[in-house]
Structure 1
Amino acid sequence: MMQTLRKNMRHILTVVLLAFLATIVFSWGMGGFGGGSSGAEQGIIGIINGRKIMYQDFAMMMDQEMAAAREQTGLDELPQYQVTMIRDRVWQTMEREILLDQEVRRLNIQTSPQEIVFFMRHSPPDFIRNSEQFQTDGQFDMSKYQEALHNPAYYEAWIPLENYFRNLIPVQKLQQRIISTVRISDQEVLESLRRENERVNVRYAFFNPATVSPEDIEVSDAEIKKTYDERKKEFEDPELRKIRYVSFDLVPTREDTQHTLSDIAYILEEIRDGADFAEMAREYSQDGTAQNGGDLGFFGRGSMVKPFEEAAFGARVGELVGPVETSFGVHLIKVIARKKEKSEIQVHAAHILLKHQISPATRERIWDSAQYFYESLESERNKEFTLIAEKEGYPVHETPFFRSGDFVPQLGMAGRVNHLAFSEKPGWISQPVRLGERIIVFQISEIQKARIKDFETVRDEIRRELEQEKRTFKAEKLCRSAWERIQSGSDLEEIARENALTLSETGFFGINSSVPAIGRDAAFIAAAFRLKPEEISEPVAGNRGYYLIELIEKSVYQPSNIESVIAEKKEKLLEEKKNSIYMAWYNNLKQEAKIKDFRNNFF
Structure 2
Amino acid sequence: MLEVIRRNAQSWGVKLLFGIIVLVFVFWGVGSFTDSNSNVVAYVNETPITLDEYRQHYEQRLEQVRRQMPEADEETLRQMGFRRQVLNELVDEKLLRQKASEYGLRVPDAEVQQAIAEIPAFRDQNGRFDREIYKKLILSQGMTPAQFEAGYRSSILMQTMTDYLVTPAVVTDEEAREIFRYAREEARADYVLFPPGEYMESVKVEEKDVQAAYEEQRERFTVPAQAEIAYLEFTPEALADPADVTEEEARRAYENNPDAYTRQARVKARHILLRAPDDASGEKAEQAEARLEEIAARIDSAEEFAAAAKEYSEGPSAPSGGDLGWFPRGSMVESFEKAAFDAEPGSLVGPVRTQFGYHLIWVEDRQEAGVLPFEEAELDVRQNVARDKAAGKVTDLLDEAIARVAAGESLEQVAETLGIGLRHAGPFPQNQGPSRPSLSQEAVQRLSTLTPGDTLDEPLSIEGGYTLVQLTSQTPSKVRPLEEVRETIVTELKRKEAMVLAEEEAASVAAALHDPQKRERAMERIQDRIKTTEAFTRQGFIPGLGMNERFAAAVFVAEEGDWLDEPYLSERGAFIARLSERTPPTDAEWAEAKQSFIQQLKQSKRQQLYQGFMSELRGEATIEIANKRVLGE
| Both proteins in one fold, TM over 0.5 | yes
The aligned runs of 1:383-462 (5 Å cut-off) are 384-386=410-412, 389=415, 395-403=421-429, 406=432, 408-412=434-438, 417-422=443-448, 427-436=454-463, 439-462=466-489
1:544 pairs, out of 561, 566, 572, with: 572
d(CA) in 2 for partners of 1:64, 1:255: 39
d(CA) in 2 for partners of 1:236, 1:459: 14
1:75 equivalent in structure 2: none
d(CA) in 2 for partners of 1:430, 1:410: 20
2:544 equivalent in structure 1: 517
Structure 1 residues 298 and 572, CA, compared in 2 at 3 Å: closer, same or farther? closer
2:28 equivalent in structure 1: 31
2:89 equivalent in structure 1: 100
SS state at 1:431 partner: coil
Residue identity in the other structure for 2:123: Q
The aligned runs of 1:122-521 (5 Å cut-off) are 122-124=114-116, 129-131=119-121, 133=123, 144-145=128-129, 148=131, 158-166=145-153, 168-169=155-156, 172=159, 189=176, 191-212=178-199, 214-248=200-234, 249-251=238-240, 254=244, 258-265=248-255, 285-286=259-260, 294=262, 296-299=264-267, 340-342=344-346, 346-351=366-371, 356-358=384-386, 362-380=390-408, 384-386=410-412, 389=415, 395-403=421-429, 406=432, 408-412=434-438, 417-422=443-448, 427-436=454-463, 439-489=466-516, 494-498=521-525, 502-506=529-533, 508-512=535-539, 515-521=542-548
TM-superposed CA distance for 1:226, in Å, is 1.1
d(CA) in 2 for partners of 1:425, 1:241: 10
The answer to whether the 8 A contact 2:193-2:576 is kept is: yes
d(CA) in 2 for partners of 1:487, 1:152: 81
Structure 1 residues 476 and 191, CA, compared in 2 at 3 Å: closer, same or farther? farther
Residue identity in the other structure for 1:341: P
- For structure 1, which runs of at least 5 residues remain unmatched after alignment? 1-27, 38-48, 70-81, 268-280, 288-293, 303-336, 599-603
SS state at 1:511 partner: coil
Aligned length: 474
Paired-residue identity, %: 15
The answer to whether the 8 A contact 1:206-1:501 is kept is: no
TM-superposed CA distance for 1:209, in Å, is 1.6
d(CA) in 1 for partners of 2:197, 2:97: 62
Structure 1 residues 509 and 410, CA, compared in 2 at 3 Å: closer, same or farther? closer
Q: Which whole-Å deviations, capped at 9, do the CAs of 1:140-161 have from their partners, x for residues lacking one?
A: x5xx23x749999999863353
- Structure 2 length normalisation: TM-score? 0.59
The answer to whether the 8 A contact 1:252-1:357 is kept is: no
The answer to whether the 8 A contact 1:527-1:540 is kept is: no
The answer to whether the 8 A contact 2:186-2:535 is kept is: yes
TM-superposed CA distance for 1:217, in Å, is 1.2
The answer to whether the 8 A contact 2:227-2:475 is kept is: yes
Q: Which whole-Å deviations, capped at 9, do the CAs of 1:238-276 have from their partners, x for residues lacking one?
A: 344332212342316635875453243457xxxxxxxxx
TM-superposed CA distance for 1:200, in Å, is 2.8
TM-superposed CA distance for 1:487, in Å, is 3.0
Residue identity in the other structure for 2:109: V
SS state at 2:467 partner: strand
SS state at 1:341 partner: coil
The answer to whether the 8 A contact 1:246-1:442 is kept is: yes
Q: Which whole-Å deviations, capped at 9, do the CAs of 1:383-442 have from their partners, x for residues lacking one?
A: 655456556665543321323674614424666643532466663515233534564210
SS state at 2:516 partner: coil
Residue identity in the other structure for 2:264: L
d(CA) in 1 for partners of 2:182, 2:570: 21
Q: Which has the higher contact order (CA 8 A, sep 6+)?
A: 2
d(CA) in 2 for partners of 1:472, 1:242: 42
1:84 equivalent in structure 2: 71
Residue identity in the other structure for 2:181: R
d(CA) in 1 for partners of 2:529, 2:445: 54
The answer to whether the 8 A contact 2:100-2:161 is kept is: no
- Structure 1 length normalisation: TM-score? 0.61
Residue identity in the other structure for 2:28: G
Residue identity in the other structure for 2:113: R
SS state at 1:228 partner: helix
d(CA) in 2 for partners of 1:540, 1:595: 51
Structure 1 residues 545 and 172, CA, compared in 2 at 3 Å: closer, same or farther? farther
d(CA) in 2 for partners of 1:384, 1:392: 12
Residue identity in the other structure for 2:233: S
Please give the root-mean-square deviation of Cα atoms over the aligned residues, in Å.
5.4
d(CA) in 1 for partners of 2:205, 2:172: 56
- For structure 2, which runs of at least 5 residues remain unmatched after alignment? 1-24, 35-48, 271-340, 348-363, 619-623
TM-superposed CA distance for 1:502, in Å, is 0.6
